[in-house]
Structure 1
């Protein structure tokens, strides 16, 4: 996903918007990007207040994405049908979290790194910078969603003090929610 930005097609652009766009646009102060000689190879993005972020996404980000990727058309500027499916998925991804989660963990993070990035200290440094920024601005806790099959990421986050707080309950997906008090 990180280096797909080099591919000039609408689906790839939408995937980038889905994965990182809202955070980069609405919370740039909590976005840390790592580059190597080939380009972007890792990033961590954060949201200070998930409730406010979701409202802003619904009010500004999603309308902008619907304008950027309008419904199916014909001709050279046509948007493929699967792009519309991705846009619907992006809207669903801006869903609600339980109050019980957000009471103790009002902030959220997303950590992405290419598999070739074998030096875990680099990812740890990115994550530490984000956690420090969130704490400095008043967050009391942070959570992230991880697929249960992503053992490497779960192990990495657990070593940094994250604990499993929800499994498959936060959203319709089958993710594990890890949280850490700050």
Structure 2
């Protein structure tokens, strides 16, 4: 029996999430606790587990698409024979034709479809330009300049009781 993988609500005020990447390909065997998909909300990027053992038979949402919470993003079946290919990149997610078509009526074998399916190219390095800054991210500290050492009051008291110099302790590691 097919199992619908729904876009989970990862935060209290979250109403949608963007699909960053699929960690499994259609036709792959999945285990309930294995990460299936990586999604990004306005606060974090997280991996979502499959939720059930079986085979990823259909992907209903493409990479880069914003999907509302509760929408079906994939289907997991008990057998690999229920394989359906991924929707075109222009489709947001499930179309009415996909929803009405039963997954078991497909004539494509899992091996043929897996070999034909290739993930979309995200980063084309041949046309990408890289900007390199000559300035370091952090300026180097000036050596020999006395700075105040960050330490708790309790640590400062313990150092003072023993007659030690806090700056010397920090430099020695």
- Using structure 1 for the length normalisation, give the TM-score: 0.25
Greater relative CO, 1 or 2 (CA 8 Å, sep 6+)? 1
In our comparison, the structure showing a higher alpha carbon Rg is 2
Q: Which has the higher helix share?
A: 1
